[in-house]
Amino acid sequence: MAAWLGVVSAEHVARGVALGIAQTNHGKRTGLARMSPGDGLIYYSPQQRLGGTEPVRAFTAVGRICDQEIWQADEGEFRPWRRRVDYDLAARSVPIAQLRDRLDLTATPNWGYALRRGLLALSENDFALIQAAMTSRAG
């Protein structure tokens, strides 16, 4: 199994969690096609709204890809590709600053540039660390 980090505004993450779906890179199919059933998915939200200025800078959802199906939704002129995800609905947001010194993701200088891709592979270590922080019932 692989693990993935999607970079999506917190507002869009909340909608995806409510619908039980994954959508990345403004609805493109390519990133979703890289995922397999059972893969882990964590969302990182740099801001509250797409194009907004209110910073979030936190991991905002965690779940697992449910199945192989990728489908195209119909939202009028916008037809994004989606996959089903089993989200941990009890997970809480965790600021990246709380984990930054322990993540492989942030170990290199200019690590933030990688986030611009919108979807990137996440190491097993990082997935486990972030998932544990998000699902810990302490504090």
**16-27 residue pLDDT tens:** 999 999 999 989
Which positions ≥6 away from 137 have C-beta within 8 Å? 90
59, 44 contact by CB (below 8 A)? yes
- The whole-chain average pLDDT of the chain stands at 94
pLDDT of residue 139 exceeding 50: no
Task: Specify whether the backbone of 48 is left (phi greater than 0), alpha (psi in -120 to 50) or beta.
Answer: alpha
Average pLDDT over residues 36-63: 95
